[in-house]
Amino acid sequence: MKSPLLPLILLAGLTAHALLYAEEESFDFETLRFHAKQLAAEPYHPRSNQVPEFLRRLTYDEHRQIQFNSDRTWWRNEQLPFQLQFFHPGFVIDHTVQIHELIGRKTRTIEFKRSLFSYGRLDLSGSIPDTMGFAGFRVLYDLNKPGDELGAFLGASYFRFLCPKAIYGLSARGLAINTAEPGGEEFPVFEEFWIQKPAADAHELVVFALLDSPSVAGAYRFAIQPGHETVVVVRAAIYRRTDVAVVGLAPLTSMFWHGENSRTTHGDFRPEVHDSDGLLLQRGSGEWLWRPLANPDKMRVASFADENPRGFGLLQRDRNFDHYQDLEAHYHARPNVWVEPVGNWGVGAVRLVEIPTPDETSDNIVAFWVPANPLPANEAFEFGYRLHWSLEAGRRPPAGFVAATRLSDVQKQPGLTRFLVEFEGPYLSSRQADATIEPVLTVGEGAALVPETLTLQKNPNNETWRATFAVKPDGTGRPVELRCFLRKEPHVLTETWSYLWNP
């Protein structure tokens, strides 16, 4: 099992915040938003740790022995379409959340009880308070077969979902604060959840969450809608407690160890190991842009300025098992996640953070939207978006898209690097070799194109079009921005391939 940018179980213990929500006679999003506003108006107070010491002393293997009793699955006796199971605190999971059932507009706290879990061979003689809470929860739904896991909320503000035939891969977060900034990142935490009891014929599950951190407090509503893709509709209201240097909306966290554009497989038998292989953007202007991911030698941050973006996401475009050869991790079945803004998000930028990783156990890729204006004081910052979890490559330009990125040395010409970018799409596949289709290449400062190396070929084996070129760095060692797309005057035929190359 891999873990996120910092492992989820570690993130759960990095921050501890405070507000135990008293049971309400009447609860809705406006009630939650009011409490978030009140919370932000007060100094930040970390929530006290209620996890007993003997649970925190458990080893990783000991903690794994604790399993939720499936016969105690919440709402199973009523045979509701959505059901719940809960995660047990322990090991390094020493931050807990309070979970409430919402029936109509009335709330009822779901208390921690030992009888909800089986403890294997563990001897747990110490007492556990009923007020301790849970580490998080999972949602069950008949996705492929009865009792399948649909998604989970576990650790800080992390959550992730599945679509049919997918397995867990990348995660989403409620909010990113100061990611990749000097002074370190702040991890907001979902402190409490209210889960709406679904009707017998419900097609969505509604979850409310209270977020807290030293800098902000916020109210969230998630409408979870499974189908051929799982859609999570997010509504949020954030209140600033202190100044924030960088706030990231709709953050996605993934892993890229090595792929077809890497110079090494790190001695691993698998040709590629990643949860996502690229960042896709659709700008407000309609332009599509594809940025292949990389595992850099040192952390790097890229910003793609925009106004009212139509969407962005981390995708696993390569679905060919032969490219991974992994019978356990099944990287070819990791889902895409596409962020679709609701309403206008204004001026800002999609930010991509790539962090070096020595293996596949830690997430090292983060993508999120950064508004140009700071969070307002004394009022809510409200935004909404839809998260689409899917195996399908539906979010891409209708004409042509990037299918592969490869690079290599040029034999007998030291200092040169050859790039091969393959474009695919219905229009391109239907065209025969055509001299009027041309690659449009831009090489940024820090390198120069070797002009005679720029070619475009139709590949008769798979109907793709391969743009090939070689570049030579200027010796400064500066990262070089490369861009390429295919054109048939006056029409642009493909998305723009955007690549940051470190000579």
Is residue 396, in this structure, part of any structural domain at all?
Answer: no
Mean pLDDT for all residues in the chain: 92
Q: Are residues 429 and 377 in the same domain?
A: no
Q: Which residues contact 141 (CB under 8 A, 6 or more apart)?
A: 81, 82, 83, 148, 150, 205, 226
Q: Are residues 75 and 180 in the same domain?
A: yes
Q: How confident is the model at residue 432 (pLDDT cuts 50, 70, 90)?
A: confident
- Tens of pLDDT, residue by residue over 317-352, are 999 999 999 999 999 999 999 999 999 999 999 999
Q: Are residues 131 and 199 in the same domain?
A: yes
Q: Is the pLDDT of residue 16 over 60?
A: no
Q: How confident is the model at residue 25 (pLDDT cuts 50, 70, 90)?
A: low
Q: Are residues 435 and 304 in the same domain?
A: no
CATH number of the domain residue 237 falls in: 2.70.98.10
Q: Are residues 334 and 460 in the same domain?
A: no
Is residue 48, in this structure, part of any structural domain at all?
Answer: yes
CATH number of the domain residue 470 falls in: 2.60.40.10
C-beta of residue 400 within 8 angstroms of C-beta of residue 424: yes
* Burial of 134: CB neighbours in 10 Å, binned 0-12, 13-18, 19+: buried
CA–CA gap between residue 147 and residue 79 (Å, rounded): 11
Q: Taking phi first (over 0 means left), then psi (-120 to 50 degrees means alpha), and beta for anything else, what does residue 361 get? A: alpha
Q: Of 339, 364, 390, which closes a domain?
A: 390
Q: Where are the beta strands (DSSP E) in 316-413?
A: 336-342, 347-354, 365-371, 381-390, 401-409
Q: How confident is the model at residue 143 (pLDDT cuts 50, 70, 90)?
A: very high
C-beta of residue 66 within 8 angstroms of C-beta of residue 118: yes
C-beta of residue 86 within 8 angstroms of C-beta of residue 69: no
User: Which residues constitute the domain of residue 237?
Assistant: 8-390
Q: Is the pLDDT of residue 178 over 90?
A: yes
Q: Is the pLDDT of residue 202 over 80?
A: yes
Q: Are residues 288 and 180 in the same domain?
A: yes
Is residue 3, in this structure, part of any structural domain at all?
Answer: no
Calculated CA dihedral for residues 466, 467, 468, 471, nearest 10 degrees: -150
Q: Are residues 284 and 345 in the same domain?
A: yes
Q: Is the pLDDT of residue 10 over 60?
A: no
Q: Are residues 118 and 186 in the same domain?
A: yes
Q: What pLDDT does residue 17 have? A: 34
- Tens of pLDDT, residue by residue over 384-394, are 999 999 998 76
Q: What pLDDT does residue 8 have? A: 39
Whose tokens are 């998305």? That residue is 495
- Tens of pLDDT, residue by residue over 48-65, are 888 999 999 999 999 999
Q: Is the pLDDT of residue 251 over 60?
A: yes
Q: Are residues 365 and 338 in the same domain?
A: yes
C-beta of residue 312 within 8 angstroms of C-beta of residue 350: yes
Q: Is the pLDDT of residue 18 over 50?
A: no
- Number of independent structural domains in the chain: 2
Nearest Cα neighbor of 234 from 213, 201, 217, 209 is: 209
C-beta of residue 21 within 8 angstroms of C-beta of residue 100: yes
- Tens of pLDDT, residue by residue over 459-479, are 999 999 999 999 999 999 899
Is residue 2, in this structure, part of any structural domain at all?
Answer: no
Q: Of 366, 390, 414, which closes a domain?
A: 390
- Residues 16-29, mean pLDDT to the nearest whole number: 58
Whose tokens are 């842009």? That residue is 289
Q: Of 358, 390, 422, which closes a domain?
A: 390
Nearest Cα neighbor of 121 from 173, 31, 59 is: 59
Question: Distance between terminal CA atoms of the chain?
Answer: 33
